[in-house]
Amino acid sequence: MIVQTIVFYIFAGVTIGAAVMVVAARNPVHSVLFLILAFFNSAGLFVLMGAEFVAMILIIVYVGAVAVLFLFVVMMLDINFVELRQGFLQYLPIGGVIGLILMIELIMLLGAETVAIPKTLLATVPIPPIEDRTNTAAIGDVLYTKYIYAFQAAGMVLFTAMVGAIVLTLRERSGVRKQRISNQVSRRRAESVELKKVEPRDGL
Amino acid sequence: MYSLPDLVPALPELWLAVAGMALLMVGVFSGNRSTHLLIWLSVVAIGSALILVLYVSPQSSNSITFSDMFIADRFAGFSKCLVLIGSALALVLSIGYLKTERIERFEYPVLLVLATLGMLMMVSANDLIALYLGLELQSLALYVLAAFRRESLRSTEAGLKYFVLGALSSGMLLYGCSLIYGFTGSTNFTAIASSIVASPTVGVGLIIGLVFVISGLAFKVSAVPFHMWTPDVYEGAPTPITAFFAIAPKIAALALFLRILVGPFLELAGDWQQVIIVISVASMLLGSLAAIWQTNIKRLMAYSSIGHMGYALIGLSAGTVEGVRGVLVYLVIYLAMNVGAFSVVLCMRRDGESVENIEDLSGLSQTNPMLALAMGVFMFSLAGVPPLAGFFAKFYVFMAAINSGLYVVAIIGVLASVIGAFYYVRIVKIMYFDEPRETFEKPIRRELSVTMAVAGVFSLFFFLYPGPIINQAQYAALSLFP
C-alpha cells in the first residue's frame, strides 16, 4: 500500500510540474515535450486506478498522434510566441476571478450532500471486478452492444468533421504539376519517339 | 445474450445517414458539376425521411430502442416533420443562390443532410449521451455551413465566431450533464426521472447541473443572455444558410428543451420555471428593442428570431400540456413565416449582387407589387397582427401562460410584441410609402416564388382551418407528459 502511495505522489507531482512547464517554457518545442511528459505521467495515474485501457489510449492517441501533430504545427508554423504571451498579464485579473469563482463552486459541490445511487440503476450493466475481466474486455462487452447507438453517432460526428475540414481547407490550385498516371500509361510510342534521319557529317 | 436492437423506430435517421454518405459518393465521383442534381437528390432524401417518419416508424406509441437511448413518440414525430420540412425548404431556397454566388460545391447539400440527421437525433434523444452526440453532429455541420463562402471575410468570421461560442456552450452543456449524471446515477432520461422522484430532497448539484444544461441549450436557441453570436452569424453566413439557421436548428433545439425539461425534470418544474421565465422575458424585450436600430435585413431577422424564441419559451415556462402545445404550434407558424420572409430576402438582388439593407426595399410596391405584398404579409404575421398566422402563434402561448397564472409574463409578452410591431411595420412603410429605387432583378426564380406563395397562403389563411395542426400538436404534447 505504501509503495502505491509513493508512486502516486511521484506521478502526480511530475504531472503537475510538467503541466506548469508547458505554460512556462520559453521554447514552444520544449512546451510540447513537457506536454508529452504530463501525458505519460497521467497514464501512470490511470494504471494506478486500475484503468489500464484508458492509460494505453492516452499514450497511443495523445502521445502518439496529438502531441506529434502539435510538434509538427509548432515547428512548421512561424508563430511569434513571445508576442502571443504579451496579453498574459492583461488577462490575468479576469482569468483569476473566473478561476476563483469556479474554485468556490467546486468546493460548494464537494460540500453538497452525496446521493446514494439506487441499486437498480447500477444493476443494468454491472461493472465486473478487475480480477474477473480486464478493462478492455469490459468496454468491449458494452461498446458494440449497449452503446452501439452512441458509437455509430460518434462515427457520424467524425465523418462530418472530416467533410467539414476538407470543405474549409481544400483548394484547387492552378499551375501545379501533378502526376497523371492515365496520361503516362496511355502514351504511345508514335507520339513520343521520333525517328530522324541524320546525314553523316551534317548534324541535326 | 445480446439481441439486435429494434431498428424500425430509427429508420428515418438510418436512412438519412446512409443517404448522406451515398450523396457524398455521388459528389466525389462527379465533381462540383453535380451540385444542382445533388440538391434535388437531397430534397428527395429528406422527403423520403419525412414519409418514413409519418408512415413507417411507429410514432403513435412510445417506442424506445437502442438500449433506451432513442425514443420515437408522437412528440418526436411532430418535431421531426417540422425539422425535415425546414431543411428541405432551405435546400430549395439555396439552388439559385449557389449558382449566382458561384459557390456551387457538392458538399453543401451533404452537410445540410448531415445537420438534419443531427437534429433528428436531438429530437429523439432519450439519454444525455444521445442528446450530446446529436447536438454536436448538428453543430459541426452548421459551423462549416456558416463559413461556406471561404473567400468572404464575413462568412469565415461568422463560422469562426459560431464555432468558438458553440464550443463554449457545448462545454457548459457537458458540465451540466456530468453533474446530472453524478447526482442521479444515470444518463438515461427515464432513470433520471425515477431517481428524482425517489429521492426525498433535491440536491443543489442537480439544480446547478440543470442550469448548466439550460444555458447550453439556450445558446442553441439563441435566447438572451446567450444571443450575442446570432446577429453576426446571421449577417455573415450565406443567405439560404441564414434561413436554415433561423428555422431548423431552432426547432430542434427548442424541441430538445421541451424534451429534457418536461421529460425527466418535470418534478423540478418549480426550479426551472424561474430560469425559463427570465430567459424568455429578456429575449422578448431584447428582440424587440435591439431590432429597431438595425439597417441590415439579415441582422433584423436575427433579432426577430431572438424575440420569437422568447415568445415560444413562454409556453415552456407554463409547464403544462397546453403550454407545450402552444410552443409546437408556434414552431409551425414560425417555420412558415421565416421561410417566406427569407425567400423575399433572397429576391433582393441588383446588378448580379445581393443587397441586404432595409433601405433597398423602398418603393418596392411600385417596382414589384407582388413581392411587396408577400413581404407585407410576412411582416404583419411576424408582428402578430390578427387574423394572420403569427397572431395565433402568440395567442396560444399567451393563453397557456395566463391559464397557469403567469400574468406578468403574458403582459410583458404583449407589450414586447407591440414594441416589436414597430420595426416590422416600418418595413411595410418603407416598401409602400418611400420613393422607389432601382428595381430588383427580374424574373424571380420559380422555386422562390413557389415557397413565397405557399408560406404566404399559410400565413394568411391559417385561421380558417387550424384544427389539424392544433390536434397533432395536442397529441404530441400529451405524449411528452408521463
C-alpha cell at A80: 511569434
Within 10 A of B218 (CB to CB), how many other CB atoms are there?
25
> Can you tell me the distance from the alpha carbon of A156 to that of B122, in angstroms, rounded to the nearest whole number?
14
Residues of chain A with pLDDT under 50: 119-120, 123
Any residues with CB less than 8 A from the CB of B459 and at least 6 apart, and which?
B333, B336, B337, B340, B377, B378, B381, B388, B389, B390
Q: Do A156 and B105 touch (CB under 8 A)?
A: no
pLDDT in tens, B227-280: 999 999 999 999 999 999 999 999 999 999 999 999 889 888 888 999 999 999
Contacts across the A-B interface (CB distance below 8 Å): 94
Give the gap in angstroms from C-alpha B186 to the nearest C-alpha of chain A: 7
Query: What's residue A131's pLDDT?
Result: 74
Q: How large is the C-alpha radius of gyration of chain B? A: 21
HEC profile of B292-337: HHCCEHHHHHHHHHHHHHHHHHHHHHHCCHHHHHHHHHHHHHHHHH
> Can you tell me the distance from the alpha carbon of B301 to that of B231, in angstroms, rounded to the nearest whole number?
8
B478 alpha carbon, distance to own chain's centre: 21
Of B214, B327, B190, B314, nearest to B263 by C-alpha is B190
Return contacts of A92-98, CB within 8 angstroms, 24+ apart: none
Query: What's residue A123's pLDDT?
Result: 46
Of the candidates B5, B133, B208, the beta carbon closest to that of A153 is on: B133
Of the candidates B69, B186, B208, the beta carbon closest to that of A150 is on: B69
Which residue in chain A is spatially nearest to B6 when comparing CA positions? A149
**Any idea which residue has 404530441 for its cell?**
B476
pLDDT in tens, B287-342: 999 998 899 999 999 999 999 999 999 999 998 999 999 999 999 999 999 999 99
Residues of chain B with pLDDT under 50: none
Query: What's residue A125's pLDDT?
Result: 54
Please state the ipTM of this predicted complex. Answer: 0.91
Q: Is the dihedral of CA A170, A175, A179, A180 positive or negative?
A: positive
> Can you tell me the distance from the alpha carbon of B310 to that of B289, in angstroms, rounded to the nearest whole number?
13
> Can you tell me the distance from the alpha carbon of B3 to that of B32, in angstroms, rounded to the nearest whole number?
43
Give the A-side interface with B, CB within 8 Å.
105, 108-109, 112-113, 115, 117-118, 121-122, 145-150, 153-154, 156-157, 159-161, 163-164, 166-168, 171
